[in-house]
Amino acid sequence: MQLTEQRHYRLFWMLLAQYSGRVPGLFVVVKKKNFFTMPETVEDKANLELYLPHPEVRGMTRLNREAFKRTVVVPVLKVKKEIVNTLLKSLKHTVLQRPGLKRVVEDPEDEDSRLVILDPHKISEFSLGESDQEVLKQLNVHPEVSKYNLELTYENFKSEEILRAVLPEGQEVTSGFSRVGHIAHLNLRDHQLPYRHLIGQVIIDKNPGITCVVNKTSIIDSTYRNFQMEVLAGERNLVTKVKENNITYELDFSKVYWNPRLSTEHGRIVELLKPSDVLFDVFAGIGPFAIPAAKKKCRVFANDLNPESYSWLLRNCKLNKVDNKIKAFNMDGRDFLLGPVREELSRELPLLKEEQKTSFHIVMNLPALAIEFLDVFQHLLAGEPCSAAGLPTVHCYGFSKHDDPAKDVRERAEASLGTSLDGRCSTYLVRNVAPNKEMLCISFQIPAEVLYKRPCPDGGKEPLWHLDFGLHRLLFQAGPTSLALWATPAVWQ
Ligand SMILES: C[S@@+](CC[C@H](N)C(=O)[O-])C[C@H]1O[C@@H](n2cnc3c(N)ncnc32)[C@H](O)[C@@H]1O
């Protein structure tokens, strides 16, 4: 075939593919003979419209599913129905593989035959390659590729294809979202906003289990780290259930903080804990560190300033049957550290014996501010007997936009603690939050000179004795040059 002839054929099939869904006359003619054969014909790969919805949907803001219908011309092989399965196996790389689309259709002209749809992207110029022809020869199938009008509907397109066809050409399309139970949570750009309701509906249609789509309408800068949101499509129910690391949580997504992208980090910290360790969770949210830690038989003190988080935390403790392992508080993190945490540490640390393996961990996941809370540890246990064995380990989160985020977070932590952490801390990159913005976790044992105002004499290994008087315990500690005597309330059971 001459080049010019080929061009004409190509143009003809291109136009047929583009317009057959729009021109009723032509569609009827083609439909009458749904399946037709042509000798050697040409189709331009770039114009195969199998993955493109109808061009007229461009700019649509209210979803009209009917408008996505189109008919495209695809290559088919006519085969006897008895050998369809064998053929599908033998030509598996050439047969159309697209979820939701049939690969085998009735032959309108012969009830003993079937039409096997081939992938137009794999067939160049509507003719089979040599190896496929060889397979057909062995199966005794006539290797003639024919054309078939395949009707595509809204259901056959993926959400990305739909949105790419609708939104202005050349602009970024997003079909990505975070899933929180039955809620899909989007963060749309300005140019996507006119299409937001349509985008929401497409996400519901294409993602089983999602029945509500919301868009963030403010950046997270509220004290409680939740954000304003607009329901774009579906039910207006924002109370949902999520599962993370095999634990179920219930929450109201409009009132508390929940980020499904933190599950690995929650798991990583909980993995560091041993049964009988003590966890203080200063910014606990609805409990994704606290509850798994309690499940692991740690003793947990969990706090959150947001009364809503606090009440969902209590509810989740019950739901997961760990309410007897967690003491929950609803106060500012600073007060929590100066109050319940300090009390617990001053009661428990002196009693800690060398051979006891209990560790104390303090988790501070409020990355925008937590580092500024570290100054609370300065002299928190001043006047108490030193216990170098039980120095609590802090896991404090921070954001950084610095070139060297680990150094940046470490230096800010050092400034807040008033001491150097050189060689005494580790930093872990949790995730990339935005271009040039990282979330990190810095972990360190609180240096004794920070917690107690001075290094523990003899590494805090001076002998410790106690005498119990009813509800009180009297403790003595003798160092080479000092003697300490103090009382504590009864031991926490
Ligand atoms: C980033 S969220 C982390 C929640 C949870 N730890 C998690 O990983 O999902 C921070 C939490 O700190 C709470 N919060 C904010 N400011 C606080 C403060 N000053 N004291 C205590 N909690 C605070 C918020 O309500 C929010 O639940």
Q: Are 57 and 22 in contact (CB under 8 A)?
A: no
Q: Is 182 annotated as a binding residue?
A: no
Looking at per-residue pLDDT, the higher value among 459 and 416 belongs to 416
Name the band, by pLDDT with cuts 50, 70 and 90, for residue 346: very high
Q: Is 262 annotated as a binding residue?
A: no
Q: Is 375 annotated as a binding residue?
A: no
What spacing in Å lies between the alpha carbon of 366 and ligand 1's midpoint? 5
Distances (CA, A) of 493 to 347, 348, 487: 12, 11, 17
State the pLDDT at residue 198. 97
Average pLDDT of span 75-94:
92
Pocket of ligand 1 (CB under 6 A): 223-225, 257, 259, 262, 283-285, 288-289, 303-306, 309, 332-333, 365-366
Cα torsion 424, 429, 430, 435: sign:
positive
Q: Kindly list the structural domains of the chain, giving each domain's residue range(s) and its CATH number in brackets, ordered by start.
A: 3-156 (no CATH), 159-237 (3.30.300.110), 274-453 (3.40.50.150), 460-493 (no CATH)
pLDDT exceeds cutoff 70 at 110: yes
Average pLDDT of span 286-293:
98
SS3 for 468-482, per residue? EECCEEEEEEECCCC
Looking at per-residue pLDDT, the higher value among 89 and 33 belongs to 89
> Burial of 465 by CB count in 10 Å (0-12 exposed, 13-18 middle, 19+ buried)?
exposed
Name the band, by pLDDT with cuts 50, 70 and 90, for residue 106: very high
What does DSSP say about strands 183-186 and 239-244: parallel, antiparallel, or unpaired?
unpaired
Instruction: Please tell me the distance from the alpha carbon of residue 169 to that of residue 172, in angstroms, as a whole number.
Output: 9
State the pLDDT at residue 131. 85
What spacing in Å lies between the alpha carbon of 277 and ligand 1's midpoint? 22
E-strand stretches of 187-341 = 212-216, 229-234, 239-244, 247-252, 278-281, 299-303, 326-329
Q: Is 332 annotated as a binding residue?
A: yes
Name the band, by pLDDT with cuts 50, 70 and 90, for residue 12: very low
What spacing in Å lies between the alpha carbon of 62 and ligand 1's midpoint? 38
pLDDT exceeds cutoff 80 at 16: no
pLDDT exceeds cutoff 90 at 129: no
Instruction: Please tell me the distance from the alpha carbon of residue 33 to that of residue 35, in angstroms, as a whole number.
Output: 5
What digits encode the pLDDT tens for the residues 200-255?
Answer: 999 999 999 999 999 988 765 678 777 789 999 999 999 999 999 999 999 999 99
> Burial of 493 by CB count in 10 Å (0-12 exposed, 13-18 middle, 19+ buried)?
exposed
Least Cα distance to 334 among 301, 308, 314, 364 occurs for 364
Residue 261 CA, chain-centre distance (Å), reads 4
What spacing in Å lies between the alpha carbon of 167 and ligand 1's midpoint? 37
Q: Whose CA is nearest to atom 5 of ligand 1?
A: 285
For a substitution probing ligand 1, which of 221, 226, 283, 301 has the most ligand atoms within 8 Å of its CB? 283
User: What atom in ligand 1 is closest to the CA of residue 397?
Assistant: 1
Helical residues (DSSP H) of 51-183, grouped into ranges: 84-90, 130-138, 159-166
What digits encode the pLDDT tens for the residues 352-379?
Answer: 876 678 999 999 999 999 999 999 999 9
Q: Is 266 annotated as a binding residue?
A: yes
For a substitution probing ligand 1, which of 251, 326, 366 has the most ligand atoms within 8 Å of its CB? 366
Name the band, by pLDDT with cuts 50, 70 and 90, for residue 18: very low
pTM of the model: 0.78
State the pLDDT at residue 297. 97
Q: Whose CA is nearest to atom 23 of ligand 1?
A: 305
Q: Are 20 and 30 in contact (CB under 8 A)?
A: yes
pLDDT exceeds cutoff 70 at 294: yes
pLDDT exceeds cutoff 50 at 321: yes
State the pLDDT at residue 122. 84
